[in-house]
Amino acid sequence: MLKQMTALLQLAGSIIGDQVMVADAIEEDRRQHSVVFSGIKESKATTPTQKATEDKQQIIKLLDLCDLECLPVKVYRMGTTKEHGNRLIKVELPTRWHVRRLLGAKKKMADAERAHLISYCRDRYKSDPNCDCVIYGGHVMTRGEISRFRKDPGNFICACHSK
């Protein structure tokens, strides 16, 4: 009887160990399908579902920019809402191939953002030729504002992103 109980305990331990290994493998697979974005502006919508919908729309625009023909499986903000600054957005894509393709195209995203900033800077120069604005830290600002931005980048509000 004691031998049978010992054998049953070993079998139960083996089954539990196998379940843990399967759960770990599933979690690792989910991680390989995920990408985390930073710097995406928080929605000003009033309801949580409207905010989530706007976040998903922003991610879909990024996927279009990178020529990815897929929809995200999951899109959600990580952490609690911050008064200043933006929370990270975690995106789960259908396959690891999509993740690799997206990461390979991140230069396109940076180039598109930079092109927007350059265009904004040119428009400011056209409207005010004495404007001494530069692109710094992903923002358009005057040279005098750079020190203020360095001290507290989370509270800095630039004209190019306040629209």
- Let me know whether 23 and 45 are in one domain: no
Q: Is residue 161 part of a domain?
A: no
Q: Which domain holds residue 70?
A: 33-104
Pairing of strands 74-77, 89-92: antiparallel
Statement to judge: residues 37 and 25 lie in one domain: no
78 and 18, same domain (yes or no): no
List, in sequence order, every residue forming a beta bridge with 37; answer none if it has no partner.
Answer: 89
- Whether 14 and 62 map to the same domain: the answer is no
Residues 11 and 71 in one domain: no
Q: Answer for the pair 33, 92: CB distance below 8 angstroms, yes or no.
A: yes
Residue 112 lies in a domain: no
In a domain, 147, yes or no: yes
Q: Considering the entire predicted model, what is its pTM?
A: 0.61
The answer on 100 and 41 residing in a single domain is yes
Are residue 21 and residue 43 in the same domain, yes or no? no
Q: What is the C-alpha separation between 62 and 76, in angstroms, rounded? A: 15
**CA 126 to chain centroid:** 34
Does residue 111 belong to any structural domain of this protein? no
* 67 and 127 fall within a common domain: no
Tens of pLDDT along the chain (163 residues) come to 777 777 777 767 777 777 777 777 778 878 888 999 888 888 888 899 999 999 999 999 889 888 889 999 999 999 888 777 789 999 999 999 999 998 888 777 777 777 778 888 888 888 888 888 888 777 788 888 888 878 877 667 666 665 4
Q: Which structure tokens are listed for 138?
A: 């992903």
Q: Are residues 20 and 47 in the same domain?
A: no
Q: Are 88 and 36 in contact (CB under 8 A)?
A: yes
CA dihedral for 133, 118, 101, 58, sign (positive or negative): positive
Calpha distance 54→49 (Å, rounded): 9
Kind of pairing between the strands at 89-92 and 34-37: antiparallel
Domain total of the chain: 3
